[in-house]
Amino acid sequence: MSEVFLSLGSNIGNKVEQIEKAYIELENSVGQIVSKSSFYETAPWGFKSSNFFINTVILMETELSPEEILVKIKEIEKSFGRKKTKKDYEDRPIDIDILYYDRVDMSTTSLTIPHPLISKRKFVLLPLLEVVRKINHFRREEVETMVYCCGDKSKVDRVIECK
């Protein structure tokens, strides 16, 4: 079994409900969720919108490869109604990113692991730190350092505690 950290976000519709439905879809197609962060409310990052995001991070165990996970993620996003109409960031019902996959370091035309923007996104780092602390993961010090060094000054508020 491999470990994969995923970041989930939504800023259209019932955001919490969509993320919870995405958890079910991910468990049906990717693997078992081992740990989840709380939900965090955040401003859009990289584009302007009046719709705030709900973001979270999960750790899953999977037998799939990173490329297979990416295919499943894109299928889930499409099933939720996500349409890419612009080259840049835009509002979306669900967004799922692969942050880490085991200790893999890879870069292809369609996938880079670790995710290249982790260290710049406080809305990813804070929920990720919550998960790695919860399970005392080997990436804990790395994530703590990224949080400390992150220049992102966006407001990120924990709004729903993880159960």
Domain boundaries, the chain: 2-160
Task: Give the model's pLDDT for residue 144.
Answer: 84
pLDDT tier for residue 120 given thresholds of 50, 70 and 90: confident
The mean pLDDT value for 93-110 works out to 92
pTM for the full predicted model: 0.89
Residue where the block lists tokens 């990052």: 45
Task: Give the model's pLDDT for residue 82.
Answer: 67
Class of domain 2-160: alpha beta
First to last CA, the chain: 25
Indicate the helix (H) or strand (E) that contains 99. Answer: strand 95-101
pLDDT single digits (tens) 45-96:
766 777 888 999 999 999 999 999 999 999 999 998 866 665 666 777 899 9
Distance (Å, whole) CA 112 – CA 39 = 25
